[in-house]
Amino acid sequence: MIYRSLLFIVLFIFFGCSKTDSNTTTRAIITLKEGWKFQKGSHPNAISIGYDDTNWESVTVPHDWAIYGPFDKEIDKQDVAIVQNGETVATEKTGRTGALPYIGEAWYRNTFDIPNYNENKKVLILFEGAMSEPEVFINGKKIGEWKYGYAYFYFDISKHIKATNNTLAVKLNNNGLSSRWYPGAGLYRNVRVIVKNQENINQWGTFITTPNITDKIAQVNVKTNVTGDNLKLITTIFDANGKKVNSNETSTRFGNQFEQNIAVNNPVLWDTENPYQYTAVSKLYAGNILKDEVTTKFGIRDIKYDRESGFNLNGIPTKFKGVCLHHDLGPLGTAVNKSALRRQLKILKDMGVNAIRSSHNMPSFEQLELCDEMGFLFLAESFDEWKKTKVKNGYNLYFDDYAEKDVVNLVRATRNHPSIIMWSSGNEVPDQWGSEGVKRAKWLQDIFHREDPTRPVTVGMDQVKAVMESGFGAIMDIPGLNYRVHLYEDAYKRFPQGFILGSETASTVSSRGVYHFPVEKGSMVQHDDYQSSSYDLEYCSWSNLPEDDFILQDNKPWVLGEFVWTGFDYLGEPTPYDEVWPSRSSYFGINDLAGLPKDRYYLYRSRWNTKDKTLHILPHWNWEGREGKTTPVFVYTNYNSAELFLNGKSLGVQTKNNSSPQHRYRLMWMDVTYEPGTLKVIAFDDQGNPAAEKEIKTSGKPHQLVLEPDTSTIKANGEDIAFVTVSVVDKNGIPCPTATNQLKFKVDGKGVYRAACNGDATSLEMFHLPTMKLFSGKLVVLVQSTKETGNISLMVSGDGLQPAKVELKSVQ
C-alpha cells in the first residue's frame, strides 16, 4: 500500500527488458533498425504487401524526418496566448515548435523474417516511440493504433505473421497546433519484434522489490506474471563479476503470478556514487523443458521521503540537484542515440547534477539504462496536458481513451529501474483549477499507486494559489512547484505533506558567449541581436534567477531540491523571442543546443560539484570599441573570495556576502574599466591562502582551428558518435571568443559526417549539411561510425584559417 502518512520507504530492484537481439530456442528479439523505406505524404495503398516502395527514401530507425528542415517561420505559426506564461492576449508565435517541417502524414515500410517460426509462437511488435497517431499494418491488415507520440505500446501480431517476408507498414500523422515545443516526427525510437513460446514471461510482467535490507542481507521479492499451465520459474541472481549469488525455484502461482523471495547476502547498494548492478536470470519451464528466459541487470537501493529529513537515498538525506530535459538531442532531433545521451549525462555529472526530470514526456529506455549505469536519480513524467486544453490538437483529444493505458505502459515498462525515484502525472495542466481537476489528479495518482505502490507521485504545479484553495496540492504525494518562489512559504503552511519539491525552477535565459550592457537584472529582456545576455541576470515573466532557488535549498530544510529548466537548450520555445524571427530554439539551457557549456554552467557547478575546483571568469575580454567603458567582471567559484587583476594591477578582493542573492553566490567587480590585455583571478581558501587561479586574454585575429574530440574511438555499429568541439585561436594560440567564420567539414575513412551545431538560437543553417558558422568562437561536429572498423579523419577548413584535422578510430 501507499503510506498516506507521506513516509515512503521504498526498497527496490531494477528488472528490465531481456537482452536485445537475442536468438535462442526460447525467444528472439529483433530490432528493426535497417531496411526501412520512408515517404512523406498520403499513400493509402502502402499497407499492401506488393506495394512498390523502391522510389521511397531508405532510412534507418530511429529516424526523425523533420530535423532535416528547412527552418521556415510559416510552419506551425501559432496565434496564441500562452496562459501558463501569464499571457492574456494572443500574439503570433513563429518558432514555438522549432520551425521545422514536422506536420503532416508519412509512411514507413519494412520487411522482416521470423527465426525458428512455427504456428505456436507468440509474436509481439513493440514501438518505443512513434510521433504520432501511429496506425500499424502487418501483411496488409491493420493490427492496431495508438495516439500519444511519447508512449510505449505493443501489439500481439501472432495471428498475422508468417515465417518470411512479413510486410510492416506504419502510418504516422502529426497535426499542427499539437505541441508547445519541437516534438519531432517519425519512428524516433526503436521498433522491436519479440518472438517467444506460448508459455512465456509476459511483456513487462516482472516487478522486483526488496522489502527488507540490512548491511548483511537483502530480501529480494520477485513477482513475475506468466502465461501457460503447469509451469515452474527459476530465478538466479549474479553479482557484477558474474558470480552466482543465490537462486529460487517455485511452481506455486497466484492466478498468473509467481512470487519468489531470494536472499542477497552482504548486498552492495545502488547509489549515485556507486551505481552497482546485479544480474538476474529468470527461466520458465514446462516440466523439464525451458520455455522462456529473460536476463536483466538490476540494482538494490532504498528511498524514503519524510517531513523531518526530506528525501533519503539508502538512509542518507539527499537534495535533488536536478535538471529538466526535453527529448530532442539538438542537431540529431528526436531520433534517440545512446552516445548522444551518454555525452549529455557526462556533462551534467561534471556539473554536479544528481537528478533528471523527463519533460514533459515518457523517457527513452536508453536514457533510463544510462541513468542506472551512471548514477542519476530520475523523475519520470507522463503528460503535459490532461483533459483541459493547452494546445488545440494536444493530448486533451486522447485523455479519456488513453490516459490510463499510457500510464500503465509507462509504469510497467520502466518501474524496475533503480534510477526512477518518483513519477509525475502532469506538468502545469490547466486542470489545476476546480474540483474536476482534483478528481483527475487523484484518479491518475491512484493508477500509478496500483501499478507501483513503491514510489510517490508528483505534478508540476504553477497555479499555486489555485491548488492551495482547491485541495489539488494537498492530495499529491509530493507537491511540486514550478517557479513561484514567493509562494513556497504559503504552500508549505497550507499543504499537509511537510515538504515541497522544486519540480521546475529558474528559467533563466542566456546565449553562450554573448554579453549585453548595461549589466542589470531584467525580465523578458529583448536585444537587437535576438540573444540573451550571458551575465545570467535575465529571466522570464514567470520565473527567476538561479540564486532565488539556491536560497530556498539552503535556508529551507523542507525543500527537497530542484529541477532547473533546463539542462540543455532544446528546439522550440525561443522565449523571450517567440514573437520574432529568426529564433527557433530555447535560451533556457545551462548548456547550449550543441552541448557546449554556457557561463551559467559554472555557477551551478560551483554549487553542486563538491569534489572539484570551479573557477570561471566572464565575460570574454575581446571588446574592441569599449576601451575606457565600464565592463563588469563576474567570477563563479566554490571559493568564498578572490582577487581580480587587469594587466597586473589589482582591482581588489571580493568576498561572497548576504547583501543580495547574487553577492551570496557570485563574486562581482561591477566597475571594471575595459582595456585589452590579461584578466586574471586568484581565489583564496578559507584561511586566506591562494588556492586556484585563472586568466583570459584579449586575442588577435582568427588564425587557426583547433579540434577536440570527446573520444578517440567509436564503436563500428553504425550508430556511435564522436563529438568534436571546433574552436579558433589567433597566431599565439589565444582563443578568439567572437569569431564567426564559415567552416566546412569533410569526413574520410570508416565514418560519416552526421551533423554540426553551433548553439546559436537564431541560426537557420541546417545541421546535416557539411558547413556552418562558428558562434562565439565555437561549434561541434558529429562524426558517426559505419559498420566497418578502421581509421576515420575529420578535416575542418575555413577561409583565411589554417585548417585542422583529427584522427579517430572505429573499433569492434
Mean pLDDT, rounded, of the chain: 95
What's the pLDDT score for residue 406? 98
pLDDT at 673: 98
Residue 671 has pLDDT above 50, yes or no: yes
Provide the percentage of residues in the chain whose pLDDT is more than 90: 92
In the chain, % of residues over pLDDT 70: 97
128 phi and psi, to 5 degrees? Answer: -90, -10
Catalytic residue check, 428: yes
In whole angstroms, give the CA distance from residue 3 to residue 263: 25
Q: Using pLDDT thresholds of 50, 70 and 90, give the confidence band for residue 24.
A: low
As a whole number, mean pLDDT of residues 712-730 equals 98
Summarize pLDDT for 762-780 with one digit per residue, the tens.
999 999 999 999 999 999 9
Of 619, 601, 593, whose CA–CA distance to 778 is shortest?
Answer: 593
Cβ contact 106:39 at 8 Å: yes
Q: How many CA atoms lie within 13 A of 650 on its CB side?
A: 6
Q: How confident is the model at residue 645 (pLDDT cuts 50, 70, 90)?
A: very high
Q: What is the DSSP string of 580-605?
A: SSS--B-S--SB-TTS-B-HHHHHHH
The pLDDT of residue 5 is 38
> In the numeric block, which cell numbers belong to residue 364?
527513452
Reply yes or no on whether the pLDDT at 352 is more than 90: yes
| Residue at 77: amino acid letter | K
Residue length, the chain? 812
Rounded average pLDDT over 52-81: 95
In the chain, the domains with their CATH numbers are 8-14+202-302 (2.60.40.10), 27-196 (2.60.120.260), 319-508+539-573+588-608 (3.20.20.80), 623-697 (2.60.40.10), 704-811 (2.60.40.10)
pLDDT above 60: residue 7: no
List, as one string, the DSSP characters of 720-739: -EEEEEEEEE-TTS-B-TT-
Cell of 523: 525580465
Catalytic residue flag (residue 504): yes
What is the model's pLDDT at position 769? 98
Nearest-angstrom CA–CA distance, 473 and 459: 9
pLDDT at 3 over 80: no
> What pLDDT, in 10s, does the model give residues 194-224?
999 999 999 999 998 888 899 999 999 889 9
**Is the pLDDT assigned to residue 15 strictly greater than 80?**
no
Can you give the pLDDT at residue 260? Answer: 96
293, β-bridge pairs: 283
Backbone φ, ψ for residue 543 (5° rounding): -125, -155
Cell of 732: 599565439
Please pick, among 128, 199, 381, 428, the residue that the annotation labels catalytic.
428
Rounded Cα gap, residues 521 and 542, in angstroms: 14
Where are the strands (E) in 338-454, listed by range? 355-358, 377-381, 420-427
Give the mean model confidence (pLDDT) for residues 569-573.
Answer: 98
Question: Distance between CA atoms of 342 and 395, rounded to whole angstroms?
Answer: 30
266 pLDDT band, cuts 50/70/90, is: very high
User: Cell triple for residue 661?
Assistant: 542573492
Whether 624 shows a pLDDT value over 60: the answer reads yes
14 vs 56: CA distance, rounded Å: 41
**Residues 6 or more apart whose Cβ sits within 8 Å of residue 296:** 14, 15, 16, 17, 18, 279, 280, 282, 416
Query: Residue 208 to residues 203, 245, 352, 424: CA-CA distances in angstroms?
Result: 15, 16, 30, 21
Q: What is the pLDDT of residue 274?
A: 98
Residue 774, phi then psi, degrees to nearest 5: -65, 145
**pLDDT over 60 (residue 649):** yes
What's the CA gap between 132 and 141, in Å, rounded? Answer: 20
User: 556: closest CA among 310, 242, 306, 249?
Assistant: 310
Strands in 721-729's sheet, in edge-to-edge order, are 704-709, 721-729, 778-785, 751-757
pLDDT value for 88: 80
Q: Which of 369, 381, 504, 719 is catalytic?
A: 504
For the residues 578-595, what does the mean pLDDT come to? 97
pLDDT tens readout for residues 285-321 = 999 999 999 888 889 999 999 999 999 999 999 999 9
Whole-number Å distance between alpha carbons of 727 and 732: 14
Cα pseudo-dihedral 115, 118, 122, 124, rounded to 10: 40
Structure letter (DSSP) for residue 45: G
pTM of the model: 0.96
pLDDT at position 383 is 98
Specify the residue for cell string 546559436: 760
How many C-beta atoms surround the C-beta of residue 76 within 10 A? 27
Looking at per-residue confidence, does 141 or 7 come out higher?
141
Q: Check: CB of residue 129 under 8 Å from CB of residue 188.
A: yes
Q: Are 117 and 163 in contact (CB under 8 A)?
A: yes
Q: Say which residue the cell 540537484 belongs to.
A: 321
User: Residue 87: its pLDDT value, please?
Assistant: 78
In Å, how far from its chain's centre is CA 342? Answer: 10
Residue 18 confidence (pLDDT) above 50:
no
SS3 691: strand
